[in-house]
Homo-oligomer: A and B are copies of this chain.
Amino acid sequence: MKRIIAVIGPGTAGEETIREAEEIGRLIARRNAILICGGLGGAMEAAAKGAQMEGGITLGILPGSDRGGANPYIAIPVATGFGDGRNVIIVRTADAVIAVGGAYGTLSEIAFGLKMGKPVIGLHTWEVKGILHAVNPDDAVRKAFQALEGP
């Protein structure tokens, strides 16, 4: 079964976060893993765009009841209708979680990832005990796979 890697980040993001999220998405797809995210805009859209440009599978777990809410780079949208409750599903489904940038929603996902004992990699995001900090997208994706597969 393919690895599933979550990219979590703000729905409204600055240029740098967008660029980083897109690069992370690209690198996840290159490693033949499925990208899972919240399916909306900002960092989620950038990560999905990056993954799709590399031919990867993009899975978007939406808060709303309507698949139409997904960004255009989501190949497989899941309409939960559970609002913020969908954050739990993203993290549960992922093997590892990469947080980039981040507002409060991202923080909730970091917390769930650490609670569930999954590797949580952070790039320019919240400081929380247990996060593995990365210095750039390449380092973030490398650390995620290292945590899963060993060096």
Contact = CB atoms under 8 A, between A and B. Distances in A.
9 contacts: A57-B76, A59-B76, A65-B83, A80-B92, A81-B88, A87-B88, A105-B111, A107-B107, A107-B110
Nearest to A105: B115
Interface string A61-83: 10001010010000111111111
Contacts of A80: 88-89, 92-93
Contacts of A59: 76, 78
Main secondary structure of the interface of A (DSSP, over half): mixed
A85 interface: yes
Contact of A128 (B61, B77, B85, B107): B107
A111 B115 contact: no
A65 B92 contact: yes
Interface of A: 1-2, 4, 34, 57, 59, 61, 65, 67, 70, 75-85, 87-89, 92-93, 103-105, 107-108, 110-112, 114-116, 126, 128, 130
B89 A81 contact: yes
Nearest to A67: B93
A31 B64 CA distance: 27
B111 A4 contact: no
Given A1-B67, A84-B88, A85-B85, A93 B79 contact: yes
